[in-house]
Amino acid sequence: MKGRCEVERKKIFFAGPSVMPVEVLTEMSENLVDYHGQGLSMLEASHRGGMFEDMYDETLALIRQVMDIPDEYEVFFLGGGATLQFSMIPLNFLKKDGFADYADTGTWSGKAASDAKTIGTVRLAYDGASSHYTSMPDPAAFKPDSAASYLYICSNETVGGIEWPAYPETGNVPLIADMSSDFFSRPVRVKDFGMIYGGIQKNLGPAGATLLIIRKDLLESRNSGLPTYLDYGTHVSQKGLYNTPPVFAIWAVKLVLDWIVRNGGLAGMDEKARSKSSLLYDVIDNSGGFYRSPVDRRFRSRMNIVFRLATEELENELIAESKKLGMLGLKGHRSVGGLRASVYNALPEADVHALVDYMRDFQARKG
Ligand SMILES: *Cc1c(COP(=O)(O)O)cnc(C)c1O
């Protein structure tokens, strides 16, 4: 394939939108104007036509295959970002006279809980405020109230850099997880969940779509009387094609899934994630305190490695220099400061080695 190795690529540590496999970008560019000789672009294709629908069906089948999703789950895409789900979930599943349990582990689960409060009663089954969102409950011991409509968790807190190492067992209470930032980065036992969803722009493609996986019996028990678009039933009854789907983003997901399959599937992604994140945590842990990880090590994210230096000046210096070396996105989220290296599936291990070398060199000069 032309172009693949000719471009000098930056090292892309952005938290989202984020790095995509260069093979996927190349394949998209080669088929952008003329999709596999069909004389039009996927960008121009009708979502009611064969060219899109063939690709769409393949994508849904690939998602089921890669994630090993049982038949009793519906799979579809929506626009509106993961953020739209913060209200759609309680609208559909928070029982009118009931309550929902939320584990508030940081920015994203906090936003979800706050939206749910505008719709119904929320019980914080875990409140991370006292630990400044640097820790999480022990998944083996964590239980929702048995009367809760569901338990909501965020699988990986992208801003705080903490991740559930395993998921709580919730019995009859449906477990709902936002997997936006660790989607498809490790095998997941789908049957333990009522619903899994995530924006695709971290591990699965460009911005513009959210992928939803919902168990059919949960769907059947949803609240009635919702506006058409906000009712999950609308989308599943139309195979996810009630309105115009994010065609371009879905095509990209298809190609990223092919890439995941070629690279060892979810077990392969997990192995890569562990080795890449360990490289960074090792530099931090072996820096004699020059670099510091603020998070409980039992819950360290394999995706977003958050770290601090002694002063903000030093942090800014490191970020400014890193840009000159072609490393992008190392500045921490504006709400927490510090540094953050996002090492999603598509980030080459070589880029992590480059960052590690640079961090060691920076410490040697400034430490
Ligand atoms: C990025 C992110 C979101 C928000 O996604 P949008 O698509 O921008 O709405 C939600 N949850 C998590 C965990 C995220 O990382």
Query: Is 158 touching ligand 1 by the criterion CB < 6 Å?
Result: yes
Same domain, 244 and 354: no
Same domain, 122 and 258: yes
- How far from 281 is each of 70, 161, 285, CA to CA, in Å? 35, 12, 6
Same domain, 151 and 136: yes
Task: Report the residue among 153, 181, 184, 335 best suited for mutation to probe ligand 1: largest number of ligand atoms under 8 A from its CB.
Answer: 181
Q: Does the pLDDT at position 12 exceed 60?
A: yes
CB 77 within 8 A of CB 211: yes
Residue 21, domain member (yes or no): no
pLDDT tens-digit profile of 122-170? 999 999 999 999 999 999 999 999 999 999 999 999 999 999 999 999 9
Residue 352 lies in domain: 265-366
d(CA 321, CA 261): 36
The CATH number that applies at residue 275 is 3.90.1150.10
Same domain, 313 and 362: yes
Radius of gyration of the chain (CA): 21
Same domain, 292 and 209: no
The CATH number that applies at residue 125 is 3.40.640.10
pLDDT tens-digit profile of 169-227? 999 999 999 999 999 999 999 999 999 999 999 999 999 999 999 999 999 999 999 99
- How far from 215 is each of 70, 166, 190, CA to CA, in Å? 9, 20, 9
Domain count, the chain: 2
d(CA 299, CA 156): 9
Task: Report the residue among 14, 85, 105, 108 best suited for mutation to probe ligand 1: largest number of ligand atoms under 8 A from its CB.
Answer: 108
Same domain, 165 and 196: yes
Cα 43 to the center of its chain, rounded Å: 24
pLDDT tens-digit profile of 31-75? 999 999 999 999 999 998 899 999 999 999 999 999 999 999 999
d(CA 108, CA 110): 5
d(CA 307, CA 284): 8
Query: Is 205 touching ligand 1 by the criterion CB < 6 Å?
Result: no
Residue 61, domain member (yes or no): yes
Same domain, 269 and 256: no
pLDDT range class, residue 6, cuts 50, 70, 90:
low
Look-up: residue for tokens 């807190």? 157
Residue 2 pLDDT: 46
- Among the residue ranges 15-19, 309-313, 331-335, 342-346, the one predicted with the least confidence is 331-335
Per the annotation, the verdict on 178 as an active-site residue is yes
pTM of the model: 0.97
**What dihedral do alpha carbons 339, 343, 349, 355 form, nearest 10°?**
-10
Mean pLDDT, rounded, of the chain? 96
Q: Which one, of 5, 6, 14, 7, lies nearest residue 323 by Cα?
A: 14
* Sheet containing 151-154: order of strands: 73-78, 210-215, 195-199, 175-178, 151-154, 99-104, 121-127
CB 213 within 8 A of CB 73: yes
Q: Is 186 helix (H, G, I), strand (E, B) or coil?
A: coil
Query: Which of 101, 115, 178, 258 is an active site residue?
Result: 178
Q: Whose CA is nearest to atom 5 of ligand 1?
A: 82
Same domain, 214 and 349: no
297: DSSP letter: G
Q: Is omega for the bond preceding 17 within 30 degrees of 0, making it cis?
A: yes
Per the annotation, the verdict on 251 as an active-site residue is no
102: DSSP letter: E
d(CA 153, CA 105): 8
